[in-house]
Each structure stands twice: as structure tokens, then as C-alpha cells.
């Protein structure tokens, strides 16, 4: 029996909105069910091999690959379509050296002067990280993702951005997936605090560093922690009925 699509009581976009703002038909490709399953399994297998190496080769990486990954990440959805992200990329040896020096100083305080509490350090112990961050200088590229807290227009006026962290977080995930898909490795590095990145990279006051990505090829033979990821039943919950507490709250306000 052929599928009958639902009829919406409130279709989108309403005619008056479309008369004022541009819209176009969604460019969407639907695949046969069998091909959907194959594509899903292939992408899951690809991403399941993704790890965060801490030893990178210094082999050069073409700029166009970094640009492609950033363009891919910039397709992420964002609050009110403000696209509140800036990907600041460098392959400069001098800039990478300055980033490493500043990051290692912050991490030295974290690890050796107890800015990280015991519980935090205990959680990191199986990974074996410390304040040495050689990869920041050896990896051919560093990309720092900044969140744009508000937009500063050329005339000096400002405009609020919405759901900034959520939007930038989605873009970061898509950036990682794009890099892994093309055969590059990266590491999410978030030294705390990260304000030194604003200074070293000369960024304006409306931007705040969100995460740093050293990018390149992994050093041949590099090892990573042999961690198992949580199984599906520990990360997915299916809900079939409203929770009783929500119904009770609804009754209270009815």
C-alpha cells in the first residue's frame, strides 16, 4: 500500500513569510532501504576507528584539505542561522611554537601545581596525559575553533548570537568527522584556561576559544588507549509514554 504523506495544519513556510524572505526546495537524496543500511554501517565502521593520537607526523598536509573540512563543518545548523564560529588555522612554525609554549605553561600549572583536583587527575590517569604538548608544534596544522559570542558589524554595532555553544559544538563534531573521513587524524585539545589563544592568534573580544585541533597524519606505530566505547543500550533510551511526573505537573497547571 503506497505511503500517504500527512497534511500539515500549519505548513512551513507560511505564504507571508516566503513573500518576505527567500526559500528554496530542500535538496535531499533518498536512498533505497538496503543502500541506507549499507551506508549507515559503512559510516559507523569508519567512525568507530576514530581515535585521538598524541603523536603526529610532521608530514605536510595540503591546505585545501583543511579548507574542505572547515567548509564541511560550516554547514552545521546554528541558532537563528548566525553561524557563530571562526576556524583559525595556522601552519606557521612560529605560531605553533608560541601556542605550544603558552599551552604547556597553563598545563604545567594544571598538572604540577594542583589546579586540577585529585578526582580530575584520577580520571585522566588511564590516558596518561601530562603538561608536555609536543604535538602542538609537530603537527602540520593547528586549527582553533572560536565561538563568536556576539557579532560585531563593520559600523561598530553589535548583534546577539543565539545558542552559541550548542551551534559551535555541532560544528566541532562535523569538523572531526570530515577530517577522519578524508584520512587525517586530530585531537581535541582544551587546555584550561584557553585565553592565551585569543592573545597568540590576535582574535577580537567577541570571540572565545572553544577547542583546539592539532591536525595531520598519525606517527607510524603510534599507540592510543585501548578503550571500549559504551554499548548502545548505555547511550540510547527509547521512550514510548510520557513520564508520569510530567503528566502530574500538567494536571497541577490544568
Confidence of residue 120 (pLDDT cuts 50, 70, 90): confident
Q: What percent of the chain has pLDDT over 70?
A: 96
Q: In CATH, what class is 54-222?
A: alpha beta
pLDDT at 248: 67
Residue 177 has pLDDT above 50, yes or no: yes
Q: Is the pLDDT of residue 121 over 60?
A: yes
pLDDT for 249 equals 64
pLDDT digits (tens, 9 = 90+) for 87-116: 999 999 999 999 999 999 999 888 888 787
Specify the pLDDT at position 250. Answer: 59
Give the pLDDT score at 88: 98
Question: What is the pLDDT confidence band of residue 18, given thresholds at 50, 70 and 90?
Answer: very high
The pLDDT, as a whole number, for residue 23 is 97
Q: Which residue has the higher pLDDT, 110 or 173?
A: 173
What is the chain's alpha carbon radius of gyration, rounded to the nearest angstrom? 23
String of DSSP letters for the chain: ----PPPPSS-SS-HHHHHHS-----------HHHHHHHHHHHHHHHHT----S-B------HHHHHHHHHHHTTS--BTT---EEEEEE--HHHHHHHHHHHHHHHHHHHHS-SS-HHHHHHHTTTT--S--THHHHSSEEEEEEEESEEE-TTS-EEE-BSHHHHHHHHHHHHHHHHHHHT-EE--B--SS-HHHHHHHT--TTEEEEEEEEEEPBPTT-----PPPPPHHHH-----S--HHHHHHHHHT-
Task: Look at residue 252 and tell me whether its pLDDT is greater than 60.
Answer: no
In whole angstroms, what is the distance from residue 235 CA to residue 237 CA? 7
State how far the Cα of 20 lies from the Cα of 165, in Å rounded to an integer: 30
Q: At how many degrees (to 10) do helices 63-73 and 164-182 cross? A: 140
pLDDT confidence band for 11 (50 / 70 / 90): very high
pLDDT tens, position by position, 209-251: 999 999 999 999 999 999 999 999 999 999 999 988 766 665 5
pLDDT in tens, 146-160: 999 999 888 889 999
CB 100 within 8 A of CB 191: no
pLDDT at 254: 42
pLDDT at 50 over 50: yes
The dihedral through the CA atoms of 87, 90, 94, 99 has a sign that is positive
Amino acid at each position: 500500500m503506497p505511503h500517504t504523506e500527512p497534511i500539515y495544519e500549519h505548513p512551513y513556510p507560511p505564504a507571508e513569510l516566503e513573500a518576505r524572505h527567500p526559500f528554496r526546495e530542500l535538496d535531499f537524496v533518498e536512498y533505497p532501504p538496503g543502500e541506507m543500511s549499507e551506508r549507515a554501517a559503512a559510516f559507523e565502521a569508519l567512525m568507530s576507528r576514530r581515535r585521538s593520537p598524541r603523536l603526529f607526523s610532521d608530514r605536510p598536509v595540503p591546505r585545501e584539505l583543511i579548507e574542505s573540512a572547515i567548509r564541511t563543518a560550516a554547514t552545521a545548523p546554528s541558532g537563528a542561522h548566525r553561524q557563530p564560529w571562526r576556524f583559525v588555522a595556522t601552519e606557521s612554525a612560529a605560531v605553533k611554537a608560541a601556542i605550544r609554549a603558552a599551552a604547556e605553561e597553563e598545563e604545567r600549572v594544571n598538572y604540577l601545581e594542583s589546579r586540577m583536583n585529585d578526582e580530575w587527575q584520577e580520571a585522566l590517569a588511564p590516558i596518561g596525559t601530562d603538561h608536555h604538548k609536543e604535538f602542538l608544534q609537530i603537527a602540520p596544522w593547528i586549527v582553533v575553533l572560536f565561538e563568536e559570542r556576539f557579532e560585531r558589524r563593520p559600523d561598530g554595532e553589535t548583534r546577539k548570537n543565539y545558542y552559541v555553544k550548542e551551534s559551535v559544538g555541532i560544528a566541532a563534531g562535523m569538523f572531526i568527522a570530515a577530517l577522519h573521513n578524508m584520512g587525517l587524524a586530530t585531537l581535541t585539545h582544551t587546555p584550561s584556561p584557553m585565553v592565551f589563544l585569543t592573545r597568540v592568534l590576535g582574535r577580537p573580544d567577541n570571540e572565545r576559544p572553544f577547542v583546539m585541533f592539532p591536525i595531520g597524519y598519525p606517527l607510524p606505530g603510534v599507540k592510543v588507549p585501548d578503550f571500549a566505547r559504551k554499548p548502545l543500550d548505555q547511550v540510547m533510551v527509547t521512550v514510548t509514554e510520557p513520564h508520569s511526573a510530567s503528566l502530574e505537573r500538567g494536571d497541577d497547571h490544568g
